Amino acid sequence: MLPILHIGPLAIQTPGLILLLGLWIGISLTERQAHHHAIPAGKIYNLILWSAAAGIVAARLSYIASHFSSFAESPGSIVSLNTALLDPWAGAAGAFLAALIYGHRSQLPFWNTLDALTHLLAVFAVASGLSHLASGDAYGAPADLPWSIWLWGAYRHPSQVYETGAALFILFALWPQKGFIRPQAPGVRFLTFIALTAAARLFLEAFRGDSTLLPGGLRLAQLAAWIVLAACLWGLRKWIK
């Protein structure tokens, strides 16, 4: 765990730095591979940029709308850099909508665009695991194993290592032109990535210590992952045939 990186007088939050690095590497890889998906590199870059900007604005506006009284008392908080003042679901919806609008206006083919973005998503998934390792978030359930790690007052499953390992496996399985899964038809790369990620989450959630639980001890993330996996398998059927 390395939540803070001290460089001279600067105290840099390592998890955030890792995510930014992941974003940067992912965008670079996506731009470089864009032509393989018949997408101009500039357009995929613009799509990511517009989505990110729209996502941030939507996340903040939604948060302000739902906590208006707090912002009315201190309007300066509207432009606060604090990421806690963001509504992640509204941000995701805003980013998705912006991507749809930009993609439609730029006449980007839907499935090819998703295939191109898969490179970014796959790299970002690895960065997400590493950022959890740095922050100690997404921690494992207590376990007495030779490879358990001491975290938050107990020996636990190194769930962040499992998460990073699974993301690395998926990244290299789908690595452009060299991975052992080489999808041909448009959309297969994206759906395969989502299916593998959902399967990994379904399996690895069992070792987490911070799962959101439903009655009977069922883990919400596992159920969600199962549904996503089922949808992807259904979606893949027409290309596999």
Of 34-42, 46-54, 65-73, 100-108, the window that binds another protein (rule: CB under 8 A) is 65-73
Contact by Cβ (8 Å): 219, 206: yes
Binders of another protein among 110-139, rule CB under 8 A? 136, 139
Question: Residue 99 burial (CB < 10 Å; 0-12/13-18/19+)?
Answer: buried
In 3-state terms, what secondary structure has residue 142?
A: strand
Residues 208-227 vs another protein: string with x where CB under 8 A? -xxx-x--xxxx--xx-xx-
Binders of another protein among 138-177, rule CB under 8 A? 139, 141-142, 152-154
Total residues at the site for another protein (CB under 8 A)? 50
Instruction: Among 24, 38, 49, 80, indicate the residue that binds another protein (CB under 8 A).
Output: 80
CA distance 182 to 161: 26
Classify the C-alpha dihedral 161-164-167-171 as positive or negative: negative
Name the residue among 161, 156, 226 with its Cα closest to residue 197.
Answer: 226
Binders of another protein among 181-200, rule CB under 8 A? 199
Name the residue among 107, 100, 116 with its Cα closest to residue 189.
Answer: 116
Site residues (vs another protein, CB under 8 A): 3-4, 6, 11, 13, 67, 69-71, 73-74, 76-78, 80, 82, 84-85, 136, 139, 141-142, 152-154, 199, 202-203, 205-206, 209-211, 213, 216-219, 222-223, 225-226, 229-230, 233-234, 236-237, 240-241
